[in-house]
Homo-oligomer: A and B are copies of this chain.
Amino acid sequence: MEYPMDETDKQIMQLLQRNARMPVSQISKEISMSQPSVKERIIKLEERNIISGYTAALNLNKLNRGTTTFILLKTEYCQELVDFCEQAWEVTDLFRISGEYNYLIKVQTASIGELAEFQDSLMKLGPSKSHISLKNILENRILL
């Protein structure tokens, strides 16, 4: 891998992972490094696209989208599916996968009733199989 990162880079990334809004001044204190150096390193991590962005984590329960479901889909209408998913607000993730089904879709709905409606609208694209999450144990975790 051609992206040398030292321990300091890692520390900065860990801090920003936990709180992306942490001001440079605080990072500077936490890792005992001057603010301009911290700034420079953050810019390098961004320029080399190691940090690809900063995002707010929204509580989907509070947004009335607390039911997580994974749908495995087998379709020959690949472009239609991608277009459909891009339009559908329920869809948060879409993967082209190996195995028996060719797509994995992650959806967030208000309830399992709403999920039925979503799945009905998918039906014309091909057979699908749904796995409802009974408990979200770990999410979006990246151990550095």
Residues of A at the B interface (CB closer than 8 Å) are 1, 3, 13, 16-21, 48-60, 62-64, 67-70, 72, 74, 76, 78, 82, 85-86, 89, 91-102, 104, 108, 112-113, 115-116, 119-120, 123-124, 127, 129-144
Contact = CB atoms under 8 A, between A and B. Distances in A.
Instruction: Determine chain A's interface SS by DSSP, over half rule.
Output: mixed
A129 B100 contact: yes
Given A17-B55, A142-B58, A116 B104 contact: no
Contact of A54 (B56, B127, B139): B56
Contacts of A16: 55-56
Copies of this protein in the complex: 8
A78 B120 contact: yes
Contacts of A140: 55, 92-93, 140
B63 A53 contact: no
A131 B99 contact: yes
Contacts of A78: 120, 123
